[in-house]
Structure 1
Amino acid sequence: MGEGSTGEPVRPTRIGVELARGRASYSVLDQGQFLAPRPVHPLAGSPGAGVDPTHARVALIGISMMLLGGDEVLIEVSVGAGVTLEVVEPAGLVAYNAAGVQARWRLSATVADGGTLLWAGAPLVVAEGANVLRETRVSLAAGARLVLQEVLVRGRTGERPGELRSSVRCTGPAGDLLVEELDLTGDHRSAMGVLGGTRVLGAVTALGFTPPVLQSTSLTRFDTASGGAVARVLADSAHSVTQQVEQVFTAWR
């Protein structure tokens, strides 16, 4: 547990799911300072709807305005053996002008042997004057799988982008599976070879298995040494990028 801007302990949002009598069962479902986890049923006609009792689906519902300067959003997730947990962010998140005061968003997840974590992330918009540190940490046991969707938007329409540092580190039994550091602070915001002149970065990461190859002219696929893959797209339209990564997420899940 970390500390917020006031020095008080941060109350994390906690989600734990395990296999009990052949069905997914919640062992932990704790509301945090900013987010409340709410179990939801798969929509009729959606992949796996009503046919897999080992599949749990949770929506993260905002209960307090965020992200403001000094906010620290902490999410802790535990997926048991043989269970699939799908986490959905129903609405995008805006980091507001905070005159450069940093806000933090942190995900810490562990996935046991034979477990699967599906994270359907909504867009994070970093408004002018915002300063965000986004950290994703996932530990996969042998036989565990991850599909992670992310969309990062540099500034709202008509304004300059705020500052963003995004860090993703996924580990397995033998060590690191994926380590990525994206620094869009200071002069790095306009550096060549990072995002160029585009505003939106979308990515889908699949680890613990080899996802199928998709036919797309706008997505770039990077295969990892461990057999996983990352599909990435850069564009100026958050709507277009979100549509594309959602298609990949659906295919890879």
Structure 2
Amino acid sequence: MMRRRVPSTSTDPLPATTAVSGTRPTRIAVERAGDRARFSVLDQGLYLAPRPVAGTAGPLHLRVALIGIHMMLLGGDDVRIELHVGSGVTLEVIEPAGMVAYDADGCASRWSLDAVLAEGSALIWDGAPFVVAGGANVQRETRVRFAERSRVLLRETLVLGRSGEPGGALRSVTRLTGPSGDSLYEDLDLTGIRHRSVGVLGESKVLASATAAGWRPEAGPPAPVESPDRRRQDQAVSAHRFELAAEGSVLRALAASAHEADREVAPQYAQWSQELLR
């Protein structure tokens, strides 16, 4: 297994860690060096390799793609990602391809993101669809701790089942914690028959969302009025915005397919991303 470390003269903000299962996490840390940002830690994990992406938006904005190097998620897999964003730096993480949790006859697997943001930093997480096939049993955790004047923007699409199959078991926990406490703490239990309950997913199989914390995005333009025939054709897919008690917003869309949900969330996510970068 390869391990890459970018030399740094500063204290490593991410000490070497190993999961209880023995899985090495993918670890990324960025810091400010003068008037530019740089990667201080860039460690390949067992499942994912971080690859810097050229064409940054500015000297303090770094982009990195997470490239899969092993088949995943299989039963027993433990995919872990650890991020540290230094003061004044923006880190944008891209998932170029979606992830599938395969049929494992109910054997549990895990995917987790643990991010820490220093004062005045920003994290943009552009997630690809996360598909939970029938027979999979996944625990998914996203935890972000951010300091004063920091901003967070997350995009994720959860898909229960591949085309023509029912979805597996998924429990997704999202916790965004700022200087004054939790901005968002959500425990979404989509195991058993719960996902079909009224007020959860119902007959939908896709949940797409964009989540902003640390600032409240501007209101977007009103949605265009669609004809009844078009609404029936799209199964009345629409995105709904929810305001957090702390500064932040969540945009959600339920749909029968990922592309329908993405069509509703993607424009607003792009606008929020532009706001954050400004």
Q: What range describes the TM-score normalised by the shorter chain of this pair?
A: over 0.9
Partner SS for 1:129: coil
2-structure distance, mates of 1:82, 1:230: 24
Match of 2:51 in 1: 38
Match of 2:170 in 1: 164
Match of 1:23 in 2: 36
- Structure 1 unpaired stretches of 5+: 43-48
1:173 positional shift: 1.2
TM-score (ref. length: structure 1):
0.93
2-structure distance, mates of 1:242, 1:35: 24
Q: Deviations over 1:125-158 (max 9, x none)?
A: 0001001100000001011100000000010111
Q: Deviations over 1:20-45 (max 9, x none)?
A: 11111001000001000000013xxx
Is the CA contact (8 Å cut-off) linking 1:163 and 1:189 kept in structure 2? Answer: no
Match of 2:154 in 1: 148
Match of 2:92 in 1: 86
Q: Give the alignment's Cα RMSD to 1 decimal.
A: 1.1
State the AA in 1 paired with 2:26. T
Partner SS for 2:88: coil
1:210 positional shift: 1.1
Q: Confirm or deny that 1:225 pairs with 2:232.
A: no
Match of 2:214 among 177, 198, 208: 208
Moved more, 216-225 or 60-69: 216-225
Q: Deviations over 1:78-111 (max 9, x none)?
A: 0001000000000000000000001100000001
1:234 positional shift: 0.5
Q: Deviations over 1:142-180 (max 9, x none)?
A: 111000000000101111111100000010111111001
Q: Deviations over 1:5-64 (max 9, x none)?
A: xxxx2200001001111111001000001000000013xxxxxx55x1100000000000
2-structure distance, mates of 1:41, 1:243: 27
Partner SS for 1:97: coil
State, as a whole percentage, how many aligned pairs show the same letter: 55
Number of corresponding residues: 242
Match of 2:229 in 1: none
Partner SS for 1:183: strand
1:216 positional shift: 3.1
2-structure distance, mates of 1:24, 1:241: 34
- Structure 2 unpaired stretches of 5+: 1-17, 225-237, 274-278
Is the CA contact (8 Å cut-off) linking 1:222 and 1:230 kept in structure 2? Answer: yes
State the AA in 2 paired with 1:157. S
1-structure distance, mates of 2:265, 2:66: 19
1:212 positional shift: 1.5
Partner SS for 1:248: helix
